[in-house]
Structure 1
């Protein structure tokens, strides 16, 4: 079995592919939980895990220290990409299935308004003028084919992706990618050295004039402009190091002090993002458990 060098350690102890997979398999769960928050709850998380594990295996085989990022950070990108590819491959629902899904959703809404509670399967089927078997077949088609469709009908009372993601975009894949970019942007800003973070936060987030920032930092406006430019380059490369490693600006002196500081910053960005992923995973579990604990009342048709 080929060996892949470990990303750290003074002696660069070689790691086998199996070791890389076994020591980083928890990353799959974090990424799955993160993406699941932006998808309808009927999407099978086991399918996402399988795709994520395949991405981890691919990462362990393709990783090279020359990529300039630790294996964990590289693996997260490959895991996420594998899951997104799997979601795209399985989005095969026909227009008629999507239209039927919207009709189901309208039926559920109308029955809930009339009954004041979640309607039964029989009630939904009667309202739509179809048999219970036809309704179940429709649900199966929606589950298989609309994993990326925000307008597909969820089971009554369940959490939808539209409940957890605020966006005016119509392409669910773009919504996920946009949210991921925003999350890494937050992580990249949080990981900046204190002075750079203050300049970025005050100038872009708080809208302070450059003159005020220069006065408070006791530097010239020209220096503030330089700090802002330095921070923007770090942020761009910090995000790209995880989402698009091939776009990271090459180090002018690989292994030099500047390169080491930049690598440390990339690692800090990953730590901030991983921390937020853990929080998102915990929040997802809490919301899911709360939803399951809600009593469901069957209404006899």
Structure 2
């Protein structure tokens, strides 16, 4: 504990001792934070922010206030790390806004055309180039990787709770993970390959496109289509009111979606009957991705 550091007559030495003796605290807070944020967040960036805050805390610390330095520094370090996360999350918020625009446009066109629109059609409807839509969908897909690992779409502030999740929240989280694994398994084969290879095996889009004999743009479209299906499949089981209709009621596209939702529900019922855990339910996709 830093309050037991031997005093030094040299202020510079005392200052350095205060910092070096408390550096492990930065590592502890960073490790604690990394367990609660998306995998794309850089550990090095958080560590750098934490160490900078530690140095600033040592400069500003006033022992006469009676607050132990470690407690004071921990508050400054956590604040700096949260600021760093917020600076990352601004992109996530803009990505989510673009995701809503793309989704609304794609849903509207699907309903009007009776089929999934092409990237060019979506681009034309939004007044964008095909390249801009593809780039936006790449950003959206990266932002949704967290969802594919069973987390929420909440902001990073909400992903760093001050209290442990309740048993009810843990059970709900577990159920969502199981449904997600089952929904991936029930995707049409080519969409399932795209999801498994892109998100779990982390293969480049160009490699997946070459394997399936399609263009990179088509892979981007398939990935977006799969994410919409996965979202709606989970909602169909957990929040039916959130499922948005696609195409004409009773039409071919609508029937395919309903058949897919029914398959996910049937697989989940079988998993529940057999008492499968989320790891067992998702073993197929992870094994294939590996």
Q: TM-score range by the shorter chain?
A: 0.3 to 0.5
TM-score (norm 1): 0.38
Larger % of helix: which? 2
